[in-house]
Structure 1
């Protein structure tokens, strides 16, 4: 009796990948860490081994701990760019149940300004530089190049999603990515404690930002930054106060002509962090100094 023909295993058509997983793989190839989101646009819960932080890592998902669970655990901290993780169990099953794709903006070197309503969008159009934007259900995501601490309710209708946070992927968006502006970085500061400036620091040089730089050569500015770094790293006591006074001195000299760049600020923050200061304190001190000088 003739046996029915069979399709050779190698030529059998493979079932199509779920749409969300295809999107996730495309993002991962471009260096964007992704994770599946379930109904309600929330991450999948911890597996039994990680429930109640039994794994010892990532308490409340605030810090990346030692857990290396292969399951879809720990929200933003589980986001991955590894195609093998995305296509293998148990992630593969999670993608079948996912309702949308999430990603970790900070892991991709990005910050998302989540504008929840028309009022927030109107504020952003007057207060922030234009950048790539994506329409959301109720508002827009404005995406900037650069990372910062995340903060919910940074102002009415505005959330900041960057490090230690996830955002829903809603498409490539329109517009050109702009660098993360100071106006957004300052929104991460929560109730900065007042700091009394040194008496001489209230003297501010004349001029406005964007004007002709009076310092003439980059070497002058670089020498000033190097001296500021040295002042911080050589501090043997009162580090908090030294950092603030140094930031204030740099800004009072160079803050109005527009010659300071992100690279200069990073050098100052790095020097402060080498003395044990946190990124939060550096941001607070910088913001307080700018406020004192009216910048």
Structure 2
């Protein structure tokens, strides 16, 4: 060995490019990431973890002891560790990857996935504006905060947060805002249908001028009242009373409001958890307020 020869230098590792570079950038910002194959699907579990033989994360719905070095277990594989992302075990996956995904819940985020124009229109009408990312068919609305993920919460709308992954489609535009109760309510499964006791209060008597030009006027008003009660996410008692008051102030003096109409309102309120007694009290109080 020639003592005067310059020391040998280790070859420089090539800088990551493409999807891996994007993944490393996101991971450096605290966003757990994973590769997706063609079809927006995660890579299958390795042979050692096939059918959760390793005992970890059965059906991807709970954490388990598995420490597999491969990108296994879908969303649960998402990581911010650059050594894992650049490891030999992940290299083949990145070579075959078609997209980068991330775990919204792991980044303390919730993605409202709007699949079509109708879903986007509904969001504009009912949800606070937040960071928006265009997708192939619609938009992702991204909120700060986490919740259980759920698919099909409304036509064309999925929620991706904990135990789910979403494609990374760019940073989007706008500032992310706090996760609203309206979105949290979408993920709540409705209570099973149950028998609702019929109302026991009589319909108001007539005597006043009738403002109903057609039967559709009254039906439309009742439908709107039912919807107002159904969509209440807090203060259900107050919402029911105010709704009864509004219906009676418009339809309570002319004799068009029948027992069947009242039963519709009581049914909507009881489906939200109100008791028959609460409904009766709210109806009586609303009538007294209006002098009926």
In which range does the TM-score fall when normalised by the shorter chain? 0.5 to 0.7
Q: Structure 2: how far apart are the matches of 1:134 and 1:195?
A: 40
Q: Say whether residues 1:30 and 2:29 are aligned partners.
A: yes
* CA gap 1:29/1:255 in 2 versus in 1, 3 angstroms: farther
Mapping 1:205-224, distance limit 5 Å: none
1:43 — aligned with what? 42
Could you tell me how far 1:193 is from its partner in structure 2? 3.7
Whole-angstrom CA distance in 2 between matches of 1:255 and 1:119: 27
Residues 9 and 55 of structure 1, relative CA distance in 2, 3 Å threshold: same
Q: TM-score, normalized by length of structure 2?
A: 0.64
Which whole-Å CA distance do the structure 1 matches of 2:127 and 2:85 have between them? 36
**Alignment deviations for residues 36-71 of structure 1 (CA, whole Å, 9 cap, x no partner):** 101111100000011011111211112112211111
Quote the offset at 1:251 in angstroms. 4.5
Deviation at 1:112, TM superposition (A): 0.1
Matches within 5 A, 1:1-295: 9-10=9-10, 12=11, 14-193=13-192, 251=235, 288=272
Structure 2: any 5+ residue segments left out of the alignment? 1-7, 196-233, 241-270, 283-292
Distance 1:147 1:255, change over 3 A: farther
The 3-state SS of whatever aligns with 2:88 is coil
Number of residues of Structure 1 aligned to a counterpart in Structure 2: 206
1:174-224 deviation line (CA, Å, top 9, x unaligned): 00011001110011112324699xxxxxxxxxxxxxxxxxxxxxxxxxxxx
Question: What CA RMSD, in Å, does the superposition of the two structures yield over aligned residues?
Answer: 3.0
- For the pair shown, the structure with the greater C-alpha radius of gyration is 2
Correspondence for 1:221: none
Mark the CA change 1:31 to 1:73 in structure 2 (over 3 Å): closer, same or farther: same
Asked if the contact 1:251/1:289 (under 8 Å) is kept, the reply is no
